[in-house]
């Protein structure tokens, strides 16, 4: 399901949470939504799910406006960090409610996910631990198979083995039942390999939007004698530079062409990839 956003603005009183965002997300891909705390990620997902109405701009899901459009919102699922469940009743009640809302609900798959995460049908949702509530939200999100499924840090309460189980389950079910998935996360190193496309926002504005391969190709680590690194990086966009004795490393942004790579080799410099997390940190302003 294609997502189209144009000049999107969202204000809370005098605070502008989203500032003229424009982008298009192609359907049947896993998109990563990255941003620092307070960057506007949750606000953006809330607008896409029609939980909030935008202050200005347009939002279209599958070519149609989403706000107050039941024909669209039934195909959109947002699983938030507290888990998309009801506070009253049991896990079984939560699944019944989800099945009522989601026309593509797979009850058999939901039961298998419950077993995977060790959730019992008669467990009280209100009495669940944070990790169990996170797992319950993941069950609802995956088994609903909504054409647009969004996870907003919904797995933060899960321990590392449970997150890995979620990672594997999501990828396997996405391959079997392709749909548009948006994942907002701070766990970039852990979930980054899933992303086919990456959207980075900072302070409500769009910083970068590219497919993962292109984004990663724009970052290069240059390592070698300090004087040679300094000479090579002159005129390039240097995101970070460190020195240890006579050796220096610099992180440059911008894809290097063949002539530049040949120049680096001639100078005895080592060129290496830069991880998505490192690129994200520097593209959003480094430490604060």
Specify if 168 maps to a domain. Answer: yes
| CA dihedral angle for residue 225, residue 227, residue 229, residue 231, rounded to 10 degrees | -150
pLDDT digits (tens, 9 = 90+) for 19-56: 999 999 999 999 999 999 999 999 999 999 999 999 99
Do both 138 and 43 map to the same domain? yes
pLDDT at 18 (0 to 100)? 96
Q: Is the confidence at residue 84, as pLDDT, over 90?
A: no
Q: Are strands 30-34 and 76-79 parallel, antiparallel or unpaired?
A: unpaired
| Whether the model pTM is above 0.85 | yes
Q: Percent of the chain having pLDDT more than 90? A: 80
As for how many domains the chain has, the answer is: 2
Do both 106 and 230 map to the same domain? no
The half-sphere exposure of 274 on its side-chain side, counting CA atoms within 13 A, is: 29
Q: Which residue has the higher pLDDT, 187 or 156?
A: 187
Q: What 3-state class would DSSP assign to 32?
A: strand
Q: How far is CA 234 from CA 61, 219, 228, 237, 260, in A?
A: 45, 16, 10, 8, 12
pLDDT at 155 (0 to 100)? 83
Do both 189 and 231 map to the same domain? no
Residue 265, judged by CB atoms within 10 A of its CB (0-12, 13-18, 19+), counts as exposed
Do both 165 and 184 map to the same domain? yes
Specify if 91 maps to a domain. Answer: yes
pLDDT at 89 (0 to 100)? 86
Do both 178 and 51 map to the same domain? yes
Specify if 288 maps to a domain. Answer: no
Specify if 81 maps to a domain. Answer: yes
Q: What is the CATH number of the domain that holds 243?
A: 3.30.70.2020
If phi > 0 it is left, if psi is from -120 to 50 it is alpha, else beta; for residue 29 that is beta
Residue with tokens 């948006």: 182
**Following DSSP, what letter does each residue of 199-243 receive, concatenated?**
EEEETTEEEEEEEHHHHHHTEEEEEEEHHHHHHHHTTSEEEEEEE
Do both 69 and 94 map to the same domain? yes
Range of the domain at 226: 218-283
Q: How far apart are the first and last CA of the chain?
A: 36
Maximum alpha-carbon separation in the chain: 68
Do both 142 and 172 map to the same domain? yes
Specify if 77 maps to a domain. Answer: yes
Would you tell me how many other CB atoms lie within 10 Å of the CB of residue 76?
A: 22
Q: Which residue has the higher pLDDT, 135 or 283?
A: 135
Q: Is the confidence at residue 82, as pLDDT, over 50?
A: yes
Do both 45 and 179 map to the same domain? yes
Q: Which residue has the higher pLDDT, 69 or 83?
A: 69
pLDDT at 87 (0 to 100)? 64
Residue 103, judged by CB atoms within 10 A of its CB (0-12, 13-18, 19+), counts as exposed
Q: Is the confidence at residue 165, as pLDDT, over 80?
A: yes
Specify if 205 maps to a domain. Answer: yes
pLDDT digits (tens, 9 = 90+) for 226-247: 999 999 999 999 988 999 899 9
pLDDT at 288 (0 to 100)? 42
**Among residues 210, 227, 259, which one ends one of the domains?**
210
pLDDT at 284 (0 to 100)? 87
**Among residues 185, 210, 235, which one ends one of the domains?**
210
Do both 157 and 141 map to the same domain? yes
Q: What is the CATH number of the domain that holds 132?
A: 3.40.50.300
Do both 64 and 200 map to the same domain? yes
**Among residues 210, 237, 252, which one ends one of the domains?**
210
Q: What rounded mean pLDDT belongs to the chain?
A: 92
pLDDT at 27 (0 to 100)? 94
Do both 21 and 144 map to the same domain? yes
Do both 242 and 270 map to the same domain? yes
Specify if 257 maps to a domain. Answer: yes
Specify if 45 maps to a domain. Answer: yes
Q: Is 75 within 8 Å of 146 (Cβ atoms)?
A: yes
Q: Is the confidence at residue 177, as pLDDT, over 90?
A: yes
């Amino acid at each position: 399901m294609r997502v189209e956003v144009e000049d999107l603005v969202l204000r809370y009183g005098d605070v502008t949470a989203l500032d003229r965002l424009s982008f298009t997300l192609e359907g049947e891909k896993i998109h990563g939504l990255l941003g620092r705390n307070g960057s506007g990620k949750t606000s953006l997902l809330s607008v896409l799910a029609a939980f909030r109405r935008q202050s200005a701009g347009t939002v279209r899901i599958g070519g149609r406006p989403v706000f107050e459009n039941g024909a669209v919102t039934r195909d959109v699922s947002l699983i938030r960090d507290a888990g998309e469940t009801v506070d009253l009743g049991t896990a079984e009640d939560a699944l019944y409610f989800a099945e009522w809302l989601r026309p593509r609900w797979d009850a058999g798959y939901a039961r298998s996910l419950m077993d995977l995460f060790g959730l019992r049908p008669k467990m009280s949702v209100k009495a669940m631990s944070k990790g169990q509530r996170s797992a319950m939200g993941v069950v609802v999100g995956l088994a609903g198979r909504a054409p647009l499924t969004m996870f907003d840090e919904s797995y933060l309460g899960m321990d590392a083995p449970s997150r890995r189980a979620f990672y594997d389950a999501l990828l396997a079910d996405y391959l079997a039942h392709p749909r548009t998935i948006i994942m907002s996360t701070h766990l970039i190193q852990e979930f980054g390999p899933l992303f086919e496309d990456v959207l980075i926002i900072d302070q409500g504005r769009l910083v970068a939007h590219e497919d993962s391969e292109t984004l990663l190709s724009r970052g290069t680590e240059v390592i070698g004698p300090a004087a040679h690194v300094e000479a090579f990086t002159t005129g390039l966009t240097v995101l970070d530079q460190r020195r240890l004795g006579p050796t220096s490393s610099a992180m440059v942004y911008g894809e290097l062409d063949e002539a530049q790579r040949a120049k680096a080799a001639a100078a005895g410099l080592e060129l290496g990839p830069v991880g998505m997390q490192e690129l994200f940190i520097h593209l959003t302003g480094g430490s604060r």
